[in-house]
A and B are shown apart, each in its own frame.
Chain A
Amino acid sequence: MGAYLVRRVLVSVLVLVLVSIGIFWLFRLAPGDPVEMMLPPQNRGPGSEAFIAAKRAELGLDEPVWVQYFTWLGNAVTGDLGYSLDTGRSVSDLLGERVGPTVYLMGLSLLLALVIAVPLGLLAAVRKGRFADYAASVVSLGAVCTPPFFLGILGIYVFSLKLGLLPSAGMSTPGQYSVGDSLSHLLMPLVILAFSQSGQFTRYVRSSVIAELHADYVRTAEAKGVSATGVVTRHVLRNALIPVITIVALSLPNVLAGAVVIETVFAWPGMGQLAIASFQGRDYPVIIGFALFFSIMVLLSNLIADLLYTLVDPRVSLR
C-alpha cells in the first residue's frame, strides 16, 4: 500500500511543479513589471530611475529567471503568496476566508447531486427503454445542456423577483443571522449547482448499472432466489458504484468550476467570486494564488479518487 501511494504522491508533486512553472511563466508574460506598476509613468520624476533600480534589486527582479522562480516557489510553499494589488491584503488570508463558503456550497451540492443521480440512474437502468428511462434521460440531458448560470438567472427571476420567496444574493442577510435565513440563501445556488452536476452523474450511474445487470453474478443471485429488488440493492448497486465513486472524485475540480459560475450569479462570497473579481481587476497575485490553490485541489482529488477506488473495491489491493 505504502509504495503505491508514495509513487502517486510523487507523481502529483511533479505535476504540481510543472504547473507552477507554467503559472510562473504566465506571470512573467503579464504586461508591465510589478515595480513599474507601483510607479505610473505620469508620476515619474528625476529620481525615478534610481528608485526603480533599487526596488528591482530589493524584489530580486534583476536575478536570473530560475532564481526568481525558486524564490517565488519557496515563498509560495511557506504560504507567502504576496499581497493583493487591489486591497493590499495578504493573498493567503484572502483565499483562506473564501475557502469555507465554497467548500460548504460544493460539498452540499455534490451530496445532493448524488442523492439525485444515484436513484435516478438506477431507475433508468432498471427500466431501460421504458418511460422512466426516457424521463430520466430527458432530465439528465437537460441538466447537462443548460448553462448553469442561465438556470441561476432564471431562478432569481422566478423565485426572487416574481415570487419573492428566496433571496438572490449572498450567504445571509447582513445583521440578521438565523438558520432559516442562511438556508434560504443556500437553497437556490445549492439546488442549481447540484442539478447541473447530477446530469453527468446520472448518466454514469445508468450505464454502470446496465453493465452490471448483465454480469454473471446477477444470474447466480437470481438462482439463489434473491428478489429483483434484492439483486439490485444487495449485489448490483455496490459493483456499479465503484466506477462512479472514482468519477465523482475526479469531477471535484469541475464542481468547483461550476461553483465559480454559480457564486458569481448569486454573489456567494467564495473562491469563485474572488477569482472573477481578481480577474476583472487584473489582481495578479490573487489570480496566481487561486491558480496554485486550484492545482493542489485537482491533484488532491485525483489522489482521493485513487484511494477511494482501492478502498471500495476489494479486488484492488494497494500493494
Chain B
Amino acid sequence: MSPLLTVEDLAVEFRTEDGVARALDGVSFTVEAGETVAIVGESGSGKSVTALTVLGLLRRPPARIVRGSVRFRDRELLRLSRDELRKIRGKDAAMVFQDPMTALNPVQRVGKQIAEAIRLHSAVSRQQAMARAVDLLGLVGMAQPGTRARQYPHEFSGGMRQRAMIAMAIANDPALLIADEPTTALDVTIQAQVLSLLRTAKQETGAATVLITHDLGVVAEMAERVLVMYAGRIVEQADVRSLFASPRHPYTAGLLASIPRLDVESQTLTPIPGSPPSLLAPPPGCPFAPRCALRQGRAECVSERPALREVDGHATACHFAELAE
C-alpha cells in the first residue's frame, strides 16, 4: 500500500521586494498512516511553508509552487480544484497553528468555531454540531466544556486556546494532523500538557501526525521519524533513535550538540556558528558549506549540490556523510 502522504520534489518560491526567495527547493518525504513524523530546523528553513503547501493554504501570490507533487491518499492535491481541496481540509487533513492567541476568530464563540468545522463536513444540525463541539472540548481536557463553548477566545488562556484548536482539528477524525510548532507560544508547564494532549488526540483518532518544532526534546518524546530541514531542503531523515544516536549530517550533529543536557556538567550551549544562507540567491553546492565543521575546505562542497542518499539507514544530503559524527 502506498503511504498516506507522499511529497515529491516540492519547490516553492516567494516573490518579494528584493527578489525571488526559494523557500522550498526539492523537498521529498512520506508519511505513513498513523505514524508521527517530526520536522525540525532553524527558523526560516521552510517548515511552515512545507505544511501550508501540503494543505493548499499558501497564499499565491506571493508564493508560487514551481514544481513537485503532493499525493494524499493517492490523490494529487496540487491539481485539485479549490472546492475539492476544501472538502479534504479540516476533514481528512487538519492543522494546528503556532499562535493560539491569534488563530481563533476573536468575535466568534469558541463552541461555534468548532461546530463550524463539524458542519462543514457532515450534514448535522446546528444543535448536534454544538453538542459534539462541547464533547470535543471535554475530550481535550477542558473543565466545564458547556460553559467554555459559549465563551469567546479572549476568555481563554493560551493553553486553553491551543486545546480548543486541537479540538477543532480532530473534530472530523482526520487521517493526517499537522501541528506547526503547537507549543512554541506557550509556557513551559503548559507545553507538556499540550503535548500529552496531542498524544491522546492521536490515540483517539489514529491520525498520522506531522509535528513541526524547534525543540529536539519534543522530537525525542513524540516522534518516530525525523526530517531535518535546512534552507528549504531536507538534509537528513531517519528514525528518532538512530538520528539522536548517530546523526549522519553535520547540521544535525550541530543541532544535537546545541541541546542543553542535564547529564553533562557544562552548561554552555554550542549553537552552530553563522546563519543560514540567503534564499534569494542560493549558492551552488551545499547550502550548509559556510557553517560546516566537517567540510574543512573540500572543494566538492561548494561546487556540487549534495543529493539525498542513503547512509547507514539514514537519508542524508552530505557528500561526506560517512565521516559525520
Contact = CB atoms under 8 A, between A and B. Distances in A.
Contacts of A234: 116
A180 interface: no
A217 B105 contact: yes
A316 to B, nearest CB: 9
Contacts of B214: none
A314 B152 contact: yes
Nearest to B152: A314
A134 B107 CA distance: 30
B102 A216 contact: yes
Interface in A212-229: 215-217, 219-228
B116 A220 contact: no
Interface stretch (A44-52, A118-126, A235-243, A248-256): A235-243
Contacts of A313: 107
B154 interface: yes
A314 B154 contact: yes
B91 A225 contact: yes
A319 interface: no
Given A216-B99, A223-B55, A224-B117, A235 B108 contact: yes
B102 A223 contact: no
Contacts of B83: 227
Given A228-B82, A314-B152, A220 B108 contact: no
11 contacts: A223-B94, A223-B97, A224-B117, A225-B90, A225-B91, A227-B83, A235-B108, A239-B107, A313-B107, A314-B154, A315-B106
A215 B102 contact: yes
B132 interface: no
Given A223-B55, A224-B168, A314-B154, 17 more contacts: A216-B97, A216-B99, A216-B102, A216-B103, A217-B103, A217-B106, A219-B57, A219-B103, A223-B89, A224-B89, A224-B90, A225-B86, A225-B117, A228-B82, A238-B108, A314-B152, A315-B107
A242 B165 CA distance: 24
Interface in B81-101: 82-83, 86-91, 94-95, 97, 99
Interface of A: 215-217, 219-228, 234-235, 238-239, 242, 312-315
Contact of B95 (A223, A238, A239, A312): A223
Given A220-B97, A314-B154, A225 B104 contact: no
B90 A235 contact: no
Contacts of B152: 314-315
B120 A225 contact: yes
Contacts of B116: 221, 224, 226, 234
Nearest to A220: B103
B121 interface: yes
A227 B82 CA distance: 8
A224 B86 CA distance: 8
Contacts of B168: 220, 224
CB-based closest 3 A-B pairs = A225-B90, A224-B90, A216-B102
Nearest to A238: B107
Contacts of A315: 106-107, 152, 154
B132 to A, nearest CB: 14
B294 to A, nearest CB: 39
Contacts of B120: 224-226
B158 to A, nearest CB: 14
Nearest to B85: A225
Contact of A225 (B103, B105, B121): B121
A288 to B, nearest CB: 44
B104 A220 contact: yes
Contacts of B87: 225
A217 B102 contact: yes
Most chain A CB atoms below 10 A, which of B88, B94, B106? B106
Given A217-B102, A220-B97, A222-B57, A242 B89 contact: no
Interface string B10-26: 00000000000000000
Contacts of B108: 235, 238
A312 B106 CA distance: 11
A239 B57 contact: no
A220 B57 CA distance: 10
A110 B153 CA distance: 33
Contacts of B169: 223
Contacts of B102: 215-217
Given A222-B89, A224-B90, A217 B117 contact: no
A164 B241 CA distance: 88
A305 B165 CA distance: 33
A25 B104 CA distance: 54
Nearest to A228: B82
